[in-house]
């Protein structure tokens, strides 16, 4: 196991959330020897109840393999429960009014983790990102997401434009964010089936992604900065959709 191994998660909150909501995804648990505090004992009890194998290891081993930020616990994920591109139609059918988040080329793991956390809080049905030139579900992403990465479907696709077209054909409106758009986010109808598209840090959406958007919206900026961090922008957009849907 190494700090870059995408099939491990670590940290009390991330592991506890996974045990509570999707324990079938955990193949194995590693716990720091000597951790007898109540939080860890509850976590171990939940793992035992779920029939998950537990290995007690020295702190030095976890420090070496995970960079010392593990909080005494790490879980290995089963590859059998990863979401794939072919799962999108079934995920759409699970909701009468799907809300999807599309991230076009986000490369910073902290930004992706924060986006996933906001997406889970807003009730997003699933998150889509390209497979190339974008960060995946690394251990850092999972830790920043505080458990959201383990419960919200995250799907990396090989061709984002093709995926957007398939969403349109399924009746989902594609709403992209762009600073030069004429329509403000708050003026756009987000009550129906919607996929909100946000671009990468700095460059924004790619040209082909923009061409597949049905609508472009901007986030009104009153200060001197020209743009927001992508995770902040994602939270604003998602909860505007939540506000509109609850109001209706």
* pLDDT band at residue 3 under the 50/70/90 scheme: very low
Per-residue pLDDT at 98 exceeds 90? yes
User: Using an 8 Å Cβ cutoff, are 75 and 31 in contact?
Assistant: no
Residues 207 and 119 in one domain: yes
Q: Which residues contact 202 (CB under 8 A, 6 or more apart)?
A: none
56 within a domain of the structure (yes/no): yes
Please classify residue 121 by burial: count the beta carbons closer than 10 Å to its beta carbon, then call 0-12 exposed, 13-18 middle and 19+ buried.
middle
* pLDDT band at residue 146 under the 50/70/90 scheme: confident
Q: How far is CA 152 from the centre of its chain?
A: 6
Residues 55 and 91 in one domain: no
Greater confidence (1 vs 124) lies with 124
Among 81, 100, 128, identify where a domain stops: 81
Per-residue pLDDT at 97 exceeds 80? yes
1 within a domain of the structure (yes/no): no
Among 81, 98, 126, identify where a domain stops: 81
pLDDT in tens, 180-231: 899 999 999 999 999 999 998 777 899 999 999 999 999 998 877 777 899 9
CATH of residue 182's domain is 3.40.1280.10
- pTM for the whole thing? 0.78
Residues 40 and 128 in one domain: no
Alpha carbon distance 196, 177 (integer Å): 8
Residues 72 and 89 in one domain: no
Residues 65 and 101 in one domain: no
Q: What is the mean pLDDT of residues 72-100?
A: 88
Mean pLDDT, the chain, integer: 89
Report pLDDT for 149.
Answer: 85
Alpha helical stretches, state H, 170-229: 207-211
Percent of all residues in the chain with a pLDDT value above 70, rounded to a whole number: 95
141 within a domain of the structure (yes/no): yes
Residues 116 and 238 in one domain: yes
3 within a domain of the structure (yes/no): no
Which stretches of 13-171 are assigned E, i.e. beta strand? Answer: 26-32, 53-57, 73-77, 99-104, 126-130, 154-157
- How many of the other CB atoms lie within 10 Å of CB of 1? 18
Count how many domains the chain has.
2
Question: How far apart, in Å, do the first and last CA atoms of the chain sit?
Answer: 48
Of the candidates 53, 42, 55, 52, the residue with the CA atom closest to the CA atom of residue 16? 42
pLDDT in tens, 41-70: 999 999 999 999 999 999 888 888 777 678
Per-residue pLDDT at 7 exceeds 80? no
Domain that holds residue 132: 85-247
CATH of residue 42's domain is 3.30.1330.30
Among 81, 108, 132, identify where a domain stops: 81
């Amino acid at each position: 196991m190494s700090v870059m191994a995408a099939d491990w998660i670590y940290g009390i909150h991330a592991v506890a959330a996974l045990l509570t909501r999707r324990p079938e995804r955990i193949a194995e648990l590693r716990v720091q020897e000597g951790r007898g505090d109540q939080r860890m004992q509850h976590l171990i009890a939940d793992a035992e109840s779920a029939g998950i194998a537990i290995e007690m290891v020295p702190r030095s081993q976890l420090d070496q393999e995970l960079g010392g930020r593990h909080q005494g616990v790490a879980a290995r994920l089963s590859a059998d429960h990863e979401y794939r591109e072919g799962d999108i139609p079934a995920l759409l059918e699970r909701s009468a009014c799907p809300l999807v988040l599309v991230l076009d080329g986000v490369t910073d793991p902290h930004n992706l983790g924060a986006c996933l956390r906001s997406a889970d809080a807003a009730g997003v049905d699933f998150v889509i990102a390209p497979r190339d030139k974008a960060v995946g579900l690394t251990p850092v992403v999972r830790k920043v997401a505080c458990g959201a990465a383990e419960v919200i479907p995250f799907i990396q696709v090989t061709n984002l434009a093709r995926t957007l077209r398939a969403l349109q054909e399924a009746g989902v409106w594609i709403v992209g964010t762009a600073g030069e758009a004429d329509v403000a986010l708050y003026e756009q109808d987000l009550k129906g089936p919607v996929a909100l598209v946000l671009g990468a840090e700095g460059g924004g959406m790619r040209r082909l992604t923009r061409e597949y958007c049905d609508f472009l919206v901007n986030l009104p900026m009153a200060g001197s900065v020209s743009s927001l961090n992508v995770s902040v922008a994602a939270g604003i957009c998602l909860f505007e959709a939540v506000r509109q849907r609850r109001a209706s």
